[in-house]
Structure formats: C-alpha cells, structure tokens
Amino acid sequence: MRPGAAVASRLGLAVRDLDLLEQALVHSSWLHEHPDAAAGHNERLEFLGDAVVSLAISEALYSRHPSDDEGLLSTRRAAIVSTAGLSRLAARIQLGESLLLGEGESQRSGRRRPSLLASSFEALVGALYLDLGFDRVRAWLVALAEPELTADSPIGVLKSPKSRLQEHTQRRTGGRPDYRIREETGPDHEKLFTVEVWVDGEPIGVGQGLSRRVAETAAAAAAIEHLRTVPRDGAA
C-alpha cells in the first residue's frame, strides 16, 4: 500500500490526490538525501495548512464558546494551534510514523519532536485542503480537535509559558522577561539554541530548542517551575 493510502485510511478520508498527500509527508531532510525521489518537500503545504488550521479552529471556538470575549478566544486558539497543541493532534493520528525523514533527523527522534510534528501536521492539512476543499477538511479537523475545542480549562493553563511569565513580571515590577541566547551549536540547518531568561536581574530559567522561539518557551516553562519552588512576591 502506498504511504499516502495508508495515511488516508487511518484518517478515514476519501483522498483523491495521493501524490499531494505524500508530498505532505516529505521532510526537507529526506528530500536532501533523495533529491530525485519526490516532487518537493512539505514546507509550502505547511504555509497553506497553517492558515486553514487557524480559520477552522477559530470558527469552531467562536461557535462553541459564545460567552468568551476576544481575549479568551485568542488564548484558547493559541493553546490548540501552538507547537505543543498541533503535535498532540499529529500524535493522535500517528503522523510521525508515516513521515519521510533524513537519516540524521530520524536518528535524532524527529518523529517525536513537537516542532517537526506540528509543521508536518500543518502540511498534511494543506494537502487535504487542496484535495478535498475547506468544508470537508474543517469537519475532519474539528472532530479530531474536539477534546481541546470543548475543554473548559482555566485560562492560566491555556496560556503559553512566555505569556504567564510576562504577566508575573508585570505584576511584580512592571518589567518584562529578558531572553538571552547563551549558546548556538550545530550546522546552520540544524542549529540547537540554548536560551536563558532573566527576571529582575537574575537568570531563573534555561531552555533548548531547534529554534530560538522554542528555546525561549522552554526557558519560560523552566522559570515558572523555578518560581513555584522558590518563594517570591506574587505567583506566576
């Protein structure tokens, strides 16, 4: 069975363009190693899928939470379409096992890396949109994300670590967290960032990631955990 057919069967969708679906599974690292084996990688589809996911999730949240204001709706959406949220949806459909990754990316546990899963999920949605149209993709996506769409989580849980840390510093001093790159290692196309976050003149969290944004989020999460264990004025 073709990889695209296996994915379509798992999704329960009558996919017509298997070539397009299979392109959504091609990571740039795999294409670099097999330049003649595919028409292209999935980054253009990722760009399109990002917009489709955002619109479908926004519309669903607007309908399901009529009493929420714009701020809370935005917070709910951010929690779902974040790297962590999209990687959770990707894991729900076992997307990682179907991705075509370069040898190095695969050895570095790329199939489980949240950022890679999230971007691949967006590429998949982009391919499905081009093949099946918005209405069918929206129905599938909303059904897949139903637990997140209907969750009535506290707003503090929904907010990202960077947002929660910034609110904490604004309450205490009116300042903002200061994120500083401590180290960059690896080649340009696979660079690993180590970021330190400073609050009130001292470093309180360190995080790593394959992009500066991911590393900053990890540092903020570490800082929040630090603030929970070290008594200070005001809680995060």
Domain range list for the chain:
3-153, 161-229
CATH class of the structural domain 161-229 = alpha beta
Closest CA to 24 of 89, 105, 116, 92: 116
Kindly state the greatest CA–CA separation across the chain. Answer: 60
Round to whole Å and give the CA distance between 130 and 44: 12
Question: Structure tokens of 142?
Answer: 């909303």
Q: Which residues are catalytic?
A: 50, 122
Three-state DSSP class for residue 185: strand
Question: How high is the pLDDT of residue 154?
Answer: 52
C-alpha torsion sign, points 77, 190, 6, 134: positive
Angle between the 114-132 and 134-144 helix axes, to the nearest 10 degrees? 140
CATH architecture of 3-153: Orthogonal Bundle (1.10)
- pLDDT (tens digit, 0 to 9) for every residue of the chain, 236 residues total? 777 788 998 899 999 999 999 999 888 786 777 777 667 788 999 999 999 999 999 999 999 999 988 888 888 898 899 888 899 999 999 998 888 777 766 666 667 778 888 999 999 999 999 999 999 999 999 999 999 998 876 555 566 788 888 888 888 777 889 999 999 988 776 788 999 999 988 999 998 887 888 889 889 888 888 887 765 544 44
